[in-house]
Amino acid sequence: MEYNYRAIEKKWQKEWRDSGAYKVSNSSDKPKFYVLDMFPYPSGAGLHVGHPLGYIASDIYARFKRLKGYNVLHPMGFDSFGLPAEQYALETGQHPALTTEKNINRYKEQLDNIGFCYDWSREVRTSDPGYYKWTQWFFLQLFDSWYNRKNQKAERIKDLVDIFKAEGNTNSECPGDKKLRFTAEEWNGFDNQRQQEILMDYRLAFSAFGEVNWCEALGTVLANDEVVNGVSERGGHIVVKKKMRQWYLRITEYADRLLQGLEQVDFSDSMKEMQRNWIGKSMGAEISFRLTPGPSPHGEGIRDTSEEMSGHFFKSGNQKFWKTLKEYGRDNRKNATQSEDLLWQNLRNNQLDIKVRRQHAINGFIADFALMEIKLVIEIDGDYHNEQEQQEYDEARTKYLHEFGFDILRFTNTEVLEQTQSVVGTIKKEVQTRRQIKREAAASPLLRKEKGSGDEATLVVYTTRPDTIFGVDFMVIAPEHALVPKITSQEQKPAIDKYLDYVKSRSERERLAEVKSITGAFTGAYAINPFNGRQIPIWISEYVLAGYGTGAIMAVPCGDQRDFAFAKHFDIPITNIIGDAYNGEEANPTKDATLQNSDFLDGKVMRDAIDIAIDKLEEMGIGKRQVNYRMRDAGFSRQRYWGEPFPIVYKGGVAFALDESQLPVELPYVDTYSAGPEGEGPLANLADWIIAPGGGTRETNTMPGYAGSSWYFLRYMDPHNEAVFADRKATDYWSQVDLYIGGTEHAVGHLLYSRLWTKVLFDLGYIGFEEPYKKLVNQGMIGSFIKNIYRLNFNYKIGDGSGMVNVNQFIEEFGVHPEHYKADIPNIFISKEIAGRIDSNSINEKDKRLIDEAIEKAMKIKENIAGTLFFDKYKITGIPVETFLVEDDKLVIESFKVHSRLGNQNSIFVSSCNTFHCGSELGKMSKRYYNVVNPDDIVERFGADTFRMYEMFLGPVEQSKPWDTKGIEGVHRFLRKFWRLFADETKGLIVTNDAATPAELKVLHRTIKKIEEDTERFSFNTAVSAFMVCVNELNDLKCHKKEVLQSLLVLITPYSPHIAEELWKLLGNEGSVLDASFPKFEEKYLVESSKEYPISINGKHRTNINIALDAIQPVVEQIVLSNEVVQKWLDGKAPKKIIFVKGKMINVVI
């Protein structure tokens, strides 16, 4: 009875399919376990051996959990919307629906060959209308939600509208347009269109104008991947930025929760780190700097900061006036009005649990009362000015205080005098609300300022190092910064304009490419250091990005390398604030130096000074703690065909959601895939479809690839439900994915988006959990060697040789690319050794002679073929050669001539020895390297069980490693050996019912323990090796006992299910081994009475002695010392010390 794996595997795969062995129920007494693979995009190339690595790992784990008594959900599906199918359609005219269907069928066939335990009845495809109906539905939920920062969760738009009706947006900042402020009255006065526009600035799915890569020549928008060095990857056409209306997901609102959620999930450190980097949270401060006057090109300039105005309205940028101001405040306090005094009596001494200052100077103003902590000013409108004048002052003052983040509460004299308690109550309430907001703001992206903004009088910078404020030698703002035209001085205008032209001429790619070049221009304007009044020049430079922070930085050259380089390049004097820690040669970004030349921070360690500095800035009202995120809102529309249509119609320019009952919006059939008239997606060409039945025009963008994959794990739970995306009972039962396996390439994209969707669904009450994936395991890539052959460069002239052939002409003439040209051109191939010498310019005479001879030979052959041939002497090109034509880096020349796309009978090989070597380097498995190994071939040769075990045996799942088909023999031999424990070729089944010996039981239970532990911690490679050890030992013991073997069979089922099932049946068992229960490990079989102790002398292992495990130290010492090896090493001396670690080892120190 032979191990006929082909027959066995086919038989059981059919059996499992017919009996529905892997069908999973949503109701079970067993505990649930959800094992999920990242579903594949079904590409035309099919699977290669790298793909199933993760699938095998998850399959093993799923089967293991099933044996352990869990109800296991282990589904599979297809991420079937995507660009490649559309690209293919564009090239061949085949509809993506057809090619996708074809590819999926091939994938399923390949997957079934490997024997996975998927419940195919739960298969999902993102391109199915029954599936994307719900993707569209999710989009509508996002569209109909906003993020309530107070409650830190998504809420419905109608609740937001209620708030606006009642109080406007005074208590919540608008995330879309941070400057937008309106009252309830104003809101109610807006027309519907205006209201919808405002709501769009709050929606979690919103539309806005964004830049896309527009390629005029191709008439389409390109993904970032498709753009290389500013031109299209295909064809090399110019690509420009074009503004288009796009959909976005407001993921930035969830930045903090996405960050915090990482604490609750079991992802690898590097994975978490990648997500943290992506979110890019940094803590720092925003600091407002006053500007000194600089004559503007328009002659307006900035208002003179030393200007003094009448009344108690002051503006001052320098200390002299600050002082004057303070004196003025003191005077006012002495001459307070009656109402001021009355209110003061009610506010002083922390009566409202907050410190209130009276007649306090804030940035050039004297406020009647100032509550610095919450940035609130209380003013009592007196009656000693005429009304007109008073209003002007108030207006100006309000404006300026707003600029510094203060709000003003106004009361009249009469109010204060007559309704004192009501006034105090109002203040009290305001204090509470503002404190609450402040708390939230500290924990959310709320406080982010509008990018690139700034106002005329101040420059707001973001810094993580406010402690270095005395080391600021210049400011740098982004060239796109709104302040640039306003502050540029007359003299500097030409230089700035020139620089701006230069920046415009550079594509984003270029700006990013030349990281180290230093460019910039001086604006002629100065900012004022608020602490020492120093004038700081303001520069612009492309190294400061408009999109991050405030688009402006304070440059501290002694502490930041880029700032340092900039200062050196433009000869800006450098202030040293860290003494010896700065050597003048390079910046020192330390946080541990002690500050000098830093006024009130002198002597402080920088790390501690950060908080002190911010406190001071806050107290002065010119700075605040600020959290910044690198993450941007996620673009959610594509100008493509093969994706989910949006359930959106436009009426009068306003986007409206379709009603749920109108879903799905099915993707209409098209026969051309070219872009719409304005570069929209192909859907824009369908004049009929665009007109929506209920009026209005449809959105012609489609959703991106990650739309469908953001929630697919939920659909598996209840895949055929037509009423909801999944029944709440089903999502409550299956809940989080317990184990998610997939590649690192989705670390930030897919994982972040699906975490976002899950959080939104949770907030809206649709599901009961907030994180989709409890544990994530990343499988490594399986690489493959790329074998390179080196060809002597040549040119081939057609016909009479009147012109050299360029590639396009060649293709026209011969119908193939020259590289694939199989005709009789006598190509000359150079062996790796000589090629290496050519590359390193150390080519010797012999090499030259060999090559010259080859050329001569080629020329002779050439006489028989048309055209003219030229060789480029001693210049070579490495070309990937089909790996199956190379053995141990040696080219199989005869096969090459026949089977390679590069070879023909005239091929000439130049080598300095008998064999012809190719180059070899580790790389990706890819069609274009001709190194793809197809799992079907491996399964055909060795069987699915061997393939599964070998993939696991290669090394840890998480690790990347090269594929080597040779090694698979070992695993195959192991399975045959395993089979022979049960059956003999001639005698048939040889399993006996004899009782197992202690030695056999020991082997078995040691294996049970090892397999259980290793499987549980995803150490599948060591588990396979444990099986090998076990089989070797049972073989040595000649053990064929059912008692032992049957348990072993269950153990190995997850790894090699087919052979296990077959032998299970042969042993006469009823039912399937899939439903057996995992053998129970029993310690008692492993208990030993003695141990072969390793004996070390001075830490070096010398011998082993068998000693009883319960022996106590004195006895052990005696035994050890009497040992002859130990005696020899002691050489008559007495040991200094004997270290005895019970059950481990003994070390004698001499």
Binders in 717-776 for RNA, by CB under 7 A: 744-745, 747-748
Helix (H) or strand (E) holding 811: helix 807-814
Contacts 24+ apart (CB under 8 A), 911-915: 911/830, 911/831, 911/833, 911/834, 911/850, 912/831, 912/833, 912/834, 912/846, 912/847, 912/850, 913/831, 913/833, 915/890
For residue 1130, the SS3 value is: helix
- Separation in Å, CA 649 to CA 133, 645, 691, 1122: 16, 11, 9, 94
| Residue 913 found at the interface with RNA (CB under 7 A) | no
The interface with RNA within residues 272-311 (CB under 7 A) comprises 273-274, 277-278, 280, 282, 284
Helix (H) or strand (E) holding 1009: helix 998-1016
Per-residue binder mask for RNA (CB under 7 A), 1031-1060, x = binder: -x--xx------------------------
Cβ 10 to RNA shortest distance, Å = 22
Name the token pair of 537: 């020049």
Angle at 970 between CA 967 and CA 973, to 5 degrees: 145
The interface with RNA within residues 619-638 (CB under 7 A) comprises 628, 630
User: How many amino acids of this chain bind RNA (CB under 7 A)?
Assistant: 87
Instruction: Report the residue from 1021, 1047, 1053, 1056 that binds RNA according to the rule CB under 7 A.
Output: 1021
Contact status, residue 708 vs residue 717, Cβ threshold 8 Å: no
Query: Among residues 205 and 536, whose Cβ is nearest to RNA?
Result: 536
Per-residue binder mask for RNA (CB under 7 A), 372-401, x = binder: ------------------------------
Query: Among residues 697 and 965, whose Cβ is nearest to RNA?
Result: 965
| Residue 1025 found at the interface with RNA (CB under 7 A) | yes
Alpha-carbon torsion (167, 172, 178, 179), positive or negative: positive
The interface with RNA within residues 1083-1142 (CB under 7 A) comprises 1092, 1094, 1096, 1098-1102, 1104, 1137, 1139, 1141
E runs forming strands in 529-621: 535-540, 552-555
Per-residue binder mask for RNA (CB under 7 A), 490-529, x = binder: ---------------------xx-xxxx-x----------
For residue 537, the SS3 value is: strand
Cβ 913 to RNA shortest distance, Å = 18
Angle at 97 between CA 93 and CA 99, to 5 degrees: 65
The interface with RNA within residues 651-690 (CB under 7 A) comprises none
| Residue 959 found at the interface with RNA (CB under 7 A) | yes
Query: Among residues 241 and 822, whose Cβ is nearest to RNA?
Result: 241
| Residue 348 found at the interface with RNA (CB under 7 A) | no
Contact status, residue 719 vs residue 731, Cβ threshold 8 Å: no
Contact status, residue 114 vs residue 948, Cβ threshold 8 Å: yes
Query: Among residues 160 and 1028, whose Cβ is nearest to RNA?
Result: 1028
Instruction: Report the residue from 929, 953, 979, 982 that binds RNA according to the rule CB under 7 A.
Output: 953
Instruction: Report the residue from 222, 478, 538, 739 that binds RNA according to the rule CB under 7 A.
Output: 478
Alpha-carbon torsion (377, 380, 385, 388), positive or negative: positive
The interface with RNA within residues 994-1013 (CB under 7 A) comprises 1010, 1013
Q: What does the DSSP assignment read for 9-22? A: HHHHHHHHHHHTTT
Classify residue 656 as exposed, middle or buried by CB count within 10 Å of its CB (0-12, 13-18, 19+).
middle
In DSSP terms, 744 is beta-bridged to: none
Closest CA to 258 of 230, 277, 241, 238: 277
Cβ 1093 to RNA shortest distance, Å = 8
Closest CA to 82 of 702, 635, 573, 556: 702
| Residue 231 found at the interface with RNA (CB under 7 A) | no
Round to whole Å and give the CA distance between 904 and 892. Answer: 13
| Residue 420 found at the interface with RNA (CB under 7 A) | no
| Residue 1144 found at the interface with RNA (CB under 7 A) | yes
| Residue 947 found at the interface with RNA (CB under 7 A) | no
Contacting range for RNA; rule: CB under 7 A; set: 311-319, 441-449, 700-708, 957-965: 957-965
> 119 — alpha (psi -120 to 50), left (phi > 0) or beta?
beta
| Residue 787 found at the interface with RNA (CB under 7 A) | no
Per-residue binder mask for RNA (CB under 7 A), 915-944, x = binder: ------------------------------
| Residue 167 found at the interface with RNA (CB under 7 A) | no
Cβ 69 to RNA shortest distance, Å = 22
Cβ 550 to RNA shortest distance, Å = 7
Helix ranges (H only) for 1019-1075 are 1020-1036, 1042-1052, 1057-1066
Instruction: Report the residue from 6, 822, 973, 1109 that binds RNA according to the rule CB under 7 A.
Output: 973
| Residue 551 found at the interface with RNA (CB under 7 A) | yes
Burial 223-239 (b: 16+ CB within 10 A, else e): eeebbeebbbeeeeeeb
Cβ 519 to RNA shortest distance, Å = 7
Query: Among residues 50 and 284, whose Cβ is nearest to RNA?
Result: 284
Instruction: Report the residue from 966, 987, 1080, 1133 that binds RNA according to the rule CB under 7 A.
Output: 966
| Residue 200 found at the interface with RNA (CB under 7 A) | no
Round to whole Å and give the CA distance between 522 and 540. Answer: 6
Query: Among residues 848 and 890, whose Cβ is nearest to RNA?
Result: 890
307 phi/psi in degrees, rounded to 5? -65, 135
Name the token pair of 900: 């390679």
Instruction: Report the residue from 107, 139, 470, 548 that binds RNA according to the rule CB under 7 A.
Output: 548
